[in-house]
Amino acid sequence: MANLVLYRKYRPQTFAEITGQEHVVQTIKNAISLGAISHAYIFSGPRGSGKTTIARLLAKAANCRERKPRNFEPCNKCSSCLEIMGTRSLDFIEIDAASHRGIDEIRELRDGVKFAPVKEKYKVFVIDECHQLTKEAANALLKTLEEPPNHAIFILATTEIHKMISTIISRCQRFDFRKLNLAEITSRLEFISDRENSRFEKSALELIALNSGGSIRDAESLLDQVLAFAGDLGKDREIKIKDIKELLGIADVEIIGKFVDLLREKNAAGALKLLQDIFEKGYDPQEFSKALIRYLRQVLILKISMDSVNPILIGLAKEDQEKMKAQVEKFSQKEIQTALNLFLDVENKTKYSSIPQLPLELATVDFINPKE
Ligand SMILES: Nc1ncnc2c1ncn2[C@@H]1O[C@H](COP(=O)(O)OP(=O)(O)O)[C@@H](O)[C@H]1O
Ligand SMILES: [Mg+2]
Ligand SMILES: [Zn+2]
């Protein structure tokens, strides 16, 4: 177990362990306990939100040999559960449509569907990234979905439901998964870091959650990196928000905040000096430009919708958000847009410039002293 990446090691093995997605979980639990499982489902939603996890739970619960009537949790001990968990069940077929897009694969699947399950009650087919099937393959799949045998359960998963043909969608019971919010992701990270016996400042875990884009999988991968890095710090040390910033390269936020202040104050000398100082310290101008653009974009979002900003979108710790808010008030929207346009060009120019920081310096001067 020790070498497993966290997101595999902590794939929930019961419905109780799923974070969020309450509407999906509740409906599926009811269907299982009532013995009213559909033959075709479509799970749509962002990556890392639990689609594959819930598909496997559904498959396990449907075939579990020890599940009591009116219960919905799989036992995770019987041969059927264990085979699905070890992905060696002959009656649980996962197809990745991103790499198996064609008609041949779907024909093969269609032929396979006709045969009764080898050992279990149901044959469960999970087709991941289903929107990537070719048109022909999608039509062949539709035929199968029109008259599925009683022993078959199809679960189609997709991150891009708008690319699926509507005739397939209408054959399936549809569930829309959503991005997880900050509190949900943070609590999942707390659970895992506890199990891993590592100590975190609460705001440190929050910062990881903030940088996950609403995907638990991505949050868990970040946590993996942090733990690997913390191993070098010494086992018992509490991991602080400062450590996370350093690791994720968010340390820039403070420097960039200062730089943006100088821009706003039209302090050309100060801004150029700051650039010079940090490049002497070994900062990469291209990385700095990227981080600056990200920062200015967040400033723009905050400017336009001060109240309705989603912290996940912003990806900043609370204290940094507060600082940014104060900064935003002193900026006009026009100024922010001008700065974004100027620095957007820099990113490309830096690649080709023989003096890598020159495009940044020029844009700085241009912003502070606009051309006539
Ligand atoms: N809702 C969730 N609750 C708990 N863990 C989750 C959830 N969604 C994703 N995860 C974590 O992320 C990993 C990948 O999730 P997965 O179900 O494969 O996402 P996808 O929606 O991309 O299929 C899981 O193994 C688990 O560790
Ligand atoms: Mg998946
Ligand atoms: Zn079982």
Q: Is 188 helix (H, G, I), strand (E, B) or coil?
A: helix
Nearest to 263 by CA among 338, 185, 196, 323: 338
63 near 122, Cβ under 8 Å? yes
Tell me, in angstroms, the distance from the centre of ligand 2 to residue 318's CA. 31
Domain end, chosen from 153, 176, 199, is at: 176
Residues 234 and 348 in one domain: no
Cα(47) to ligand 2 centroid in Å equals 7
- How far, CA to CA in Å, does 175 sit from each of 155, 306, 340? 11, 32, 39
Flag whether 205 is in a domain: yes
231 and 259 belong to one structural domain: no
Q: What separation in Å is there between the alpha carbon of 51 and the centre of ligand 1? A: 7
- Final residue belonging to a domain, choices 223, 248, 273: 248
Q: What residues have their beta carbon closer than 5 A to ion ligand 3?
A: 64, 66, 74-75, 78, 81
> Do 150 and 210 lie in a common domain?
no
Tell which one of 11, 17, 43, 189 to mutate to probe ligand 1, the residue whose CB is within 8 A of the most ligand atoms. 11
In this structure, are 124 and 25 located in the same domain?
yes
List the beta bridge partners of residue 266.
none
* Same-domain check for residues 197 and 291: no
Whether residue 320 lies inside any domain: the answer is yes
- Model confidence at 1, pLDDT cuts 50, 70, 90, reads very low
> Hey, what are 217's tokens?
């999988």
Which ligand is closest in space to the CA of residue 13? 1
Q: What is the pTM of this model?
A: 0.82
Average pLDDT estimate for 1-22: 87
Same domain, 26 and 96: yes
Where does a domain end: 124, 148, 176? 176
Residue 217 CB–ligand 1 contact under 6 Å: yes
For residue range 55-73, what is the model confidence (pLDDT) as tens digits?
999 999 999 999 998 999 9
Co-location of 69 and 45 in the same domain: yes
Give the number of domains in the chain.
3
- Tell me, what DSSP letter sits at residue 132? G
In terms of phi and psi (left: phi > 0; alpha: psi -120 to 50; beta: otherwise), the region of 48 is: left
pLDDT-derived band at 235 (thresholds 50, 70, 90) equals low
- What pLDDT score was predicted for residue 371? 66
Looking from the CA of residue 47, the nearest atom of ligand 1 is 22
215-224 pLDDT per residue, tens: 999 999 999 9
pLDDT computed for residue 34 by the predictor: 94
State how far the Cα of 9 lies from the Cα of 7, in Å rounded to an integer: 6
Same domain, 23 and 151: yes
Phi first, then psi: give them for residue 127, nearest 5 degrees: -115, 110
Q: What is the CATH number of the domain that holds 235?
A: 1.10.8.60
For residue 17, give the DSSP letter: G
Q: Is the CB of 245 under 6 A from ligand 1?
A: no
Do 45 and 110 reside in the same domain of the chain?
yes
- Whether the predicted pLDDT of 308 surpasses 70: no
Integer Cα distance of 255 and 180 in angstroms: 30
Joined together, the tokens standing for residue 301 give: 């979002």
Q: Domain range for residue 46?
A: 6-176
Q: How far is the CA of 154 from the centre of ligand 2 (A)?
A: 15
Residue 158 CB–ligand 1 contact under 6 Å: no
CA 178 / ligand 2 centre spacing (Å): 14
Whether residues 275 and 229 share a domain: the answer is no
Residues 244 and 257 reside in one and the same domain: no
Q: Which helix (H) or strand (E) holds 274?
A: helix 268-280
- CB 238, CB 200: distance < 8 Å: yes
**Does a structural domain hold residue 1?**
no
pLDDT digits (tens, 9 = 90+) for 149-173: 999 999 999 999 999 999 999 999 9
Model pLDDT, residue 294? 86
Question: What SS3 class is residue 75?
Answer: coil
The CATH code of the domain that includes 364 is 1.20.272.10
296 Cα to the center of ligand 3, angstroms: 52
What residues form DSSP beta bridges with 42?
156, 174
**308, part of any domain:** yes
Output the CA 33–ligand 2 centroid distance in Å.
25
**For ligand 1, atom 16, which residue shows the shortest CA distance?**
50
Distances (CA, A) of 107 to 89, 91, 160: 21, 17, 23
Residue 226 located in a structural domain: yes
Provide the mean pLDDT of the chain. Answer: 89
Q: How confident is the model at residue 2 (pLDDT cuts 50, 70, 90)?
A: very low
Q: Are residues 188 and 166 in the same domain?
A: no
- For the residues 339-365, what does the mean pLDDT come to? 91
Distance in Å from the first CA to the final CA of the chain: 65
Question: What does the alpha-carbon distance between residue 368 and residue 269 come to, in Å, rounded to a whole number?
Answer: 10
Range of lowest pLDDT (84-93, 133-142, 319-328, 362-371): 319-328
Query: Where residue 56 sits, what CATH number does that domain have?
Result: 3.40.50.300
Give the pLDDT mean for 129-138.
94
Mean pLDDT over 178-193 rounds to 94
> pLDDT tens digits, residue range 114-127?
889 988 899 999 99
Q: Decide whether any atom of ligand 1 lies within 6 Å of the 215 Cβ.
A: no
- The answer for 313, left when phi > 0, alpha when psi is -120 to 50, beta otherwise, is alpha
Is residue 312's pLDDT more than 80?
no
Confidence of residue 335 (pLDDT cuts 50, 70, 90): very high
